[in-house]
Amino acid sequence: MAIGKIVKGIGGFYYVDADDVIYECKARGNFRNDNLTPLVGDNVEFSINENAENRIEKILERKNSLVRPPLANIDVLFIICSLVDPKINTLITDRLIAVAEYKNIQPIIVLTKTDLDDNYSEYVDIYENAGFRVITVNNESFEGAQEFKNIISGKVCAFTGNTGVGKSTLLNNLFPALELETGETSKKLGRGKHTTRHSELFKFEGGYVADTPGFSSLDIQRYDKIMKEDLPYCFREFRDYLGECRFNSCTHINDKGCAVCKALEEGKISKSRHSSYVAMYNEVKDIKEWQKK
Ligand code: ZN
């Protein structure tokens, strides 16, 4: 039995990378009975067969997985925010960060187009003070590629960002060797079958970069709702205060004796981060766990 990583799945075939050789595999039939579908990013055990299809026999335990794009075992999520055109939306950024935290993925904030607006220290402060790594990118010179390469080494990384931030352009400029297809939305397969979104991992700098055409903030909102009990923990700068609120039922919005609100007043938590929390809390406050799809 060989061990490898699924780097592409299309039309019922999975492409498994094992020591730099790609094997075309079919999945063992009874995964479906276990309600389990192999995902790009999965580490798998598979059999190599001379006169039959190679077969994925076992999916190894996942560190995490996303619904859309369907992707497993992501280590780092680069969240791309442009400073202008479109201007960074902190609520969208904070949503993406919260989902990454919820899924145990390291979020890294990437501020692009510093050549068009050099007044971005406010955003660097917000995110660095909250405990995140921030990378700034000058879109004229595309300096900073080495910083990305150092992070990617040995990891599985995905990039996301709001529509219009120029994710693919950024990636292609930073890493010309990747030659990612840009703007791919659908690919026709035989017999009228369509796949609207497929993810693919590209080997790069000793790690993998996921090309995920459909990875938008909209998908995140739709498919990865965080329940209100979990939400405060997805804001990492809140965590130090969560045990110190006067009431166990504290919502950390403007409750009496709330330690998070006190930290907000004292400037230890940024206003924009807290207002994103409030907006996200209000969206899910009436959803019960059993109603979650
Ligand atoms: Zn509180």
* DSSP label of 279: H
Please give the pLDDT value at position 205: 85
Please give the pLDDT value at position 197: 56
The single residue listed with the structure tokens 């996200």 is: 280
User: Is cis: bond before 176, omega within 30 of 0?
Assistant: no
pTM of the model: 0.87
SS3 193: coil
* DSSP label of 83: S
* DSSP string across 159-193: EEE-TTS-HHHHHHHH-GGG-PPPS---EE-GGG-
- Phi and psi (nearest 5°) for 66? -115, 150
Q: Do domains 2-60 and 66-221 have the same CATH topology?
A: no
CA of 261 to the centre of ligand 1 (A): 6
CA of 88 to the centre of ligand 1 (A): 28
CA of 277 to the centre of ligand 1 (A): 12
CA of 268 to the centre of ligand 1 (A): 14
Strand stretches in 103-239, DSSP E: 106-112, 133-136, 156-161, 187-188, 194-195, 200-204, 207-211
d(CA 111, CA 19): 35
CA of 132 to the centre of ligand 1 (A): 22
d(CA 53, CA 57): 12
CA of 241 to the centre of ligand 1 (A): 8
CA angle 228, 161, 194 (to 5 degrees): 95
Please give the pLDDT value at position 204: 85
Please give the pLDDT value at position 159: 87
CA of 258 to the centre of ligand 1 (A): 4
Rg (CA), the chain: 21
CA of 244 to the centre of ligand 1 (A): 7
CA of 262 to the centre of ligand 1 (A): 9
Q: Which residues pair with 43 in a beta bridge?
A: 5
The single residue listed with the structure tokens 């993810």 is: 199
> Which of 240, 290, 251, 62 has the alpha carbon at shortest distance from 156?
62
Residues 6+ apart with CB under 8 A from 120: 83, 111, 114, 136
SS3 268: coil
Please give the pLDDT value at position 248: 94
pLDDT tens, N- to C-terminus, the chain (293 residues): 999 999 999 988 999 999 999 999 999 887 877 788 999 999 999 999 999 999 999 999 999 998 777 899 999 999 999 999 889 999 989 999 999 999 999 999 999 989 998 889 999 999 999 999 999 988 888 877 788 889 999 999 998 877 667 777 777 787 777 665 544 333 333 333 333 457 789 888 889 998 766 556 666 666 677 999 999 999 999 999 999 999 999 999 999 999 999 999 999 999 999 999 999 999 999 887 667 65
Structural domain boundaries in the chain? 2-60, 66-221, 226-292
CA of 90 to the centre of ligand 1 (A): 22
d(CA 25, CA 18): 12
Report the CATH fold assignment for 2-60: OB fold (Dihydrolipoamide Acetyltransferase, E2P) (2.40.50)
d(CA 180, CA 67): 22
CATH class for the region spanning 226-292: mainly alpha
> Which of 83, 77, 73 has the alpha carbon at shortest distance from 39?
73
CA of 91 to the centre of ligand 1 (A): 20
Please give the pLDDT value at position 34: 79
Please give the pLDDT value at position 190: 36
d(CA 44, CA 59): 5
d(CA 258, CA 249): 10
Please give the pLDDT value at position 173: 81
Please give the pLDDT value at position 142: 80
For the domain spanning 66-221, the CATH number is: 3.40.50.300
